[in-house]
Chains A and B, each alone.
Chain A
Amino acid sequence: MELVQMQKSLQDYTKSLFLEGVLDSQFLQLQQLQDESNPDFVSQVVTLFFQDSDRILNDLSLSLDQQVVDFKKVDPHVHQLKGSSSSIGAQRVKNACVVFRTFCEQQNVEGCHRCLQQVKQEYYLVKNRLETLFKLEQQIVASGGVIPAMELGF
């Protein structure tokens, strides 16, 4: 595929993530912080997000599977995931966490189980999409091209 075509595909793909609400402007903020001195900043931060989130989701699953659910353990995990998803612009994960916290406050176990499934769904979606985005970027760089800047002009 020609370089120009790859760059256009990346722009269109990234745009779709914003239009679907998978990402919000905070992701653009991260991209704007990336420079020659730290060209992998975004992927480093996102990788850290993936590692944290995998651990948190595992802990949440274990906590909610207990016979007596300790919401003092559940809520801080959801709070942390909400914060980190917000920090990288994973909007739908963040929104799912907001709903999750209301069920934690109500100590509604069934509601929390449903929310956990929703959070997992949104998380795996953004993870999959970002991994694809990074692959597209790597292909462009490997072909000697530069990654085009993204602006929210749509």
Chain B
Amino acid sequence: MATKSMVDIEKTKKKINVLIVDDDPLNLQIHEKIIKAIGGTSQTANNGEEAVIIHRDGGSSFDLILMDKEMPERDGVSTTKKLREMEVKSMIVGVTSLADNEEERRAFMEAGLNHCLAKPLTKAKILPLINQLMDA
């Protein structure tokens, strides 16, 4: 039975394009590195309002959006709601603090998230979601 060579698989492997929305430059750097380590490409937004502008201007489409919850200008809940109103179809993953209570997490999910992960993010936490996207 013919099998694809590893080189063929690498060529056809889809590169995941991720928008990282976070007001903390430290988190942006770490999350960019995680996405790169997984084989994806990323763009960053320093707050929810920037994320909305990026989508409003058009031309950008993302497979995955990593959305911090607490940000100035526009927080993660409001941004997620707005992006869904704009019919953004990307997988949106909320990134929450362990201090967030169940009610806060539920409100974030109800804003239109596909998943919610607790900080700090790691490759192991993100990889199953990336694999889900790759299999879709």
Contact = CB atoms under 8 A, between A and B. Distances in A.
Contacts of A26: 120, 122
A103 B3 CA distance: 62
Contacts, number: 49
Interface string B58-83: 00000000000010000000000000
Closest 3 A/B residue pairs (Cβ): A33-B33, A87-B120, A84-B26
Main secondary structure of the interface of A (DSSP, over half): helix
B135 to A, nearest CB: 24
Nearest to A25: B122
A33 B34 contact: yes
A45 interface: yes
A33 B30 contact: yes
B25 A48 contact: yes
A65 interface: no
Chain B interface size, as a band, is 10 to 19
Contacts of B1: none
Given A29-B123, A38-B33, A48-B26, 17 more contacts: A26-B120, A29-B120, A29-B122, A33-B37, A33-B123, A41-B33, A45-B26, A48-B25, A49-B26, A52-B26, A79-B70, A83-B97, A83-B119, A84-B27, A87-B27, A88-B26, A89-B120
Interface of A: 26, 29-30, 32-33, 35, 38, 41, 44-45, 48-49, 52, 79-80, 82-84, 86-89, 98, 101
